[in-house]
Amino acid sequence: MDIGRKGEAPPASPGTGRADPHRWWGLVVIALAQLMVVLDATIVNIALPSAQHDLHMSDAARQWVITAYTLAFGGLLLLGGRVADLVGRKRTFVVGLIGFAAASALGGAATSSGMLFGARALQGVFAALLAPSALSLLTTTFTDPRERGKAFGIYGALAGSGSAIGFIVGGLLTEYLNWRWCLYVNVPIAVVAVLGAFALLHDHPGHREARLDVPGVLLGCGGLVAIVYGFAEAEPRGWTDPLVIALFASGAVLLAAFVRWQTRAPSPLLPLHIVRDRNRAGCFLTMMLAVIGMFGLFLFMTYYLQVILGWSPVRAGLAFLPLTAAIIIGSTQISARLLQRVAPRLLMVPGMLLAATGLLLLTRMTVGSSYTGEILPALILLGLGMGLTFMPVFATATAGVAPRDAGVTSATVNTSQQVGGSIGTALLNTIATTSGAAYVSAHLRGPASRAVVVPAGVVHGYTVAIWWAAGVMLLAGLVAGLMVTARAPGRAPAGTPVPESVG
Give the pLDDT confidence score for residue 491 in this predicted structure. 53
- Res 1 pLDDT > 50: no
Query: Who wins on pLDDT, 382 or 220?
Result: 382
- Res 232 pLDDT > 70: no
Give the pLDDT confidence score for residue 209 in this predicted structure. 59
Q: Does any domain span residue 300?
A: yes
Give the pLDDT confidence score for residue 439 in this predicted structure. 87
Contact 297, 466 (CB under 8 A): yes
Contact 161, 380 (CB under 8 A): no
Asked which of 194-198, 217-221, 230-234, 402-406 is least confident by mean pLDDT, the reply is 402-406
DSSP 172: H
Give the pLDDT confidence score for residue 86 in this predicted structure. 79
Q: What digits encode the pLDDT tens for the residues 45-54?
A: 777 777 878 8
Contact 138, 27 (CB under 8 A): yes
- Res 414 pLDDT > 80: no
DSSP 205: P
Contact 304, 462 (CB under 8 A): yes
Buried b (16+ CB within 10 A) or exposed e, 178-212: ebbbbbbbbeebbeebbebbeebbbbeebeeeeee
Distance CA 8, CA 22 (A): 9
- Res 192 pLDDT > 50: yes
Q: Does any domain span residue 347?
A: yes
Residue 65 Rama label (left phi>0; alpha psi -120 to 50; beta): alpha
Q: In terms of residue numbers, what domain contains 97?
A: 23-212+269-491
Coil, strand or helix at 324: helix
Query: Who wins on pLDDT, 75 or 260?
Result: 260
Question: Closest by alpha carbon to 244, among 221, 222, 227?
Answer: 227
Question: Radius of gyration (Cα) for the chain, nearest Å?
Answer: 22
Question: Closest by alpha carbon to 140, among 20, 243, 1, 266?
Answer: 20
- Res 175 pLDDT > 80: yes
Question: Sign (positive/negative) of CA torsion 317, 323, 329, 330?
Answer: negative
CATH of the domain at 189: 1.20.1250.20
Q: Does any domain span residue 322?
A: yes
Contact 83, 92 (CB under 8 A): yes
| Residues 6 or more apart in contact with residue 402 via CB below 8 angstroms | none
Q: pTM to 2 decimals?
A: 0.75
Give the pLDDT confidence score for residue 156 in this predicted structure. 66
Q: What is the mean pLDDT of residues 162-173?
A: 78
Q: What is the mean pLDDT of residues 371-400?
A: 87
Give the pLDDT confidence score for residue 447 in this predicted structure. 74
Question: Closest by alpha carbon to 40, among 64, 81, 69?
Answer: 69
Give the pLDDT confidence score for residue 218 in this predicted structure. 84
Is residue 30 very low, low, confident or very high in pLDDT (cuts 50, 70, 90)? confident
CA 120 → CA 93, 123, 302, 415, distances in Å? 19, 5, 21, 17
Give the pLDDT confidence score for residue 354 in this predicted structure. 94
- Res 147 pLDDT > 90: no
Cα–Cα–Cα angle for 33, 39, 42, rounded to 5 degrees = 155
Give the pLDDT confidence score for residue 170 in this predicted structure. 84
Distance CA 419, CA 134 (A): 19
- Res 251 pLDDT > 50: yes
Q: What percent of the chain has pLDDT over 70?
A: 83
Q: Does any domain span residue 229?
A: no
Burial classification of residue 451, based on how many CB atoms lie within 10 Å of its CB (0-12 exposed, 13-18 middle, 19 or more buried): exposed
- Res 18 pLDDT > 60: no
- Res 17 pLDDT > 70: no
Asked which of 122-131, 417-426, 455-464 is least confident by mean pLDDT, the reply is 417-426
Distance CA 236, CA 233 (A): 6
Question: Closest by alpha carbon to 12, among 148, 132, 159?
Answer: 148
Contact 324, 353 (CB under 8 A): no
- Res 333 pLDDT > 70: yes
Q: What digits encode the pLDDT tens for the residues 150-161?
A: 777 777 666 666
What one-letter code names the amino acid at 407?
G
Burial classification of residue 448, based on how many CB atoms lie within 10 Å of its CB (0-12 exposed, 13-18 middle, 19 or more buried): exposed
- Res 92 pLDDT > 80: yes
Q: What digits encode the pLDDT tens for the residues 435-489?
A: 888 888 888 777 767 777 888 888 999 899 999 999 999 999 999 999 888 777 6
Give the pLDDT confidence score for residue 2 in this predicted structure. 39
Q: What is the mean pLDDT of residues 162-174?
A: 79
- Res 425 pLDDT > 60: yes
- Res 407 pLDDT > 70: no
Query: Who wins on pLDDT, 311 or 486?
Result: 311
Q: Does any domain span residue 259?
A: no
Buried b (16+ CB within 10 A) or exposed e, 13-34: eeeeeeebebbeebbebbbbbb
- Res 59 pLDDT > 60: no
Give the pLDDT confidence score for residue 247 in this predicted structure. 93
Q: Which of 25-39, 261-275, 362-376 has the highest mean pLDDT?
A: 362-376
What's the number of domains the chain is made of?
Answer: 1
Distance CA 48, CA 422 (A): 17
Distance CA 249, CA 329 (A): 42
Asked which of 52-61, 126-135, 226-235, 486-495 is least confident by mean pLDDT, the reply is 486-495
Q: Does any domain span residue 52?
A: yes
Q: Does any domain span residue 129?
A: yes
Q: Does any domain span residue 256?
A: no
Give the pLDDT confidence score for residue 496 in this predicted structure. 40
Q: What is the mean pLDDT of residues 59-87?
A: 76
Q: What is the mean pLDDT of residues 46-71?
A: 76
Residue 52: CB atoms within 10 Å = 17
Is residue 21 very low, low, confident or very high in pLDDT (cuts 50, 70, 90)? low
Distance CA 270, CA 274 (A): 8
Distance CA 18, CA 503 (A): 33
Alpha carbon of residue 266 to chain centroid: 30
- Res 378 pLDDT > 80: yes
- Res 305 pLDDT > 70: yes
Is residue 60 very low, low, confident or very high in pLDDT (cuts 50, 70, 90)? low
